[in-house]
Amino acid sequence: MSVLTLLSAAAMAQAAVPAVTGSWDTDFGIVRLAEDKQGSISGSYVTDDGRITGKIENGVIEGFWVESASDYACDTQKMGSRYWGRIRFELNSAGTGWTGIWSYCDYEYVEGAVWNGKRIK
């Protein structure tokens, strides 16, 4: 393989649209996500001014949801709110959907607390 081919492949990889950037139809409405070059994820959704922050590694997003109100208030704040919890979204191999779970605060995930999504854009 030539050096030019390797450089071209590297340039195309850098120019590629990140795997999760876009809009997703989820169990909690439309979620808009963006991924930067370091794998940091940020996003938003309508429910209680929802925000998502986290990292993606090997097709798995781990991070937090944060809202302006929720059924449960945490003892500590995250991103200026006491209404937050953990998320874990596992992308399918095609990058068209995820199966996810969530929790309140920093508690363990509970059975039935699902947050699944399918790519729409």
| Model pLDDT for residues 21-67, shown as the tens digit of each residue | 999 999 999 999 999 999 999 999 999 999 999 999 999 999 999 99
**Cβ(16)–Cβ(8) under 8 Å?**
no
What's the pLDDT score for residue 21? 95
Q: Residue for token digits 């302006």? A: 68
In the chain, % of residues over pLDDT 70: 85
pLDDT at 10: 45
Instruction: Give residue 15's pLDDT band: very low, low, confident or very high (50, 70, 90).
Output: very low
One-letter amino acid identity for 35? E
CA angle (92 as vertex; 49, 107 as ends), nearest 5 = 50
Q: Considering Cα of 115, then 28, then 117, then 22, what sign does the dihedral take?
A: negative
Tell me how far apart the alpha carbons of residues 99 and 113 are, in angstroms, rounded to a whole number.
11
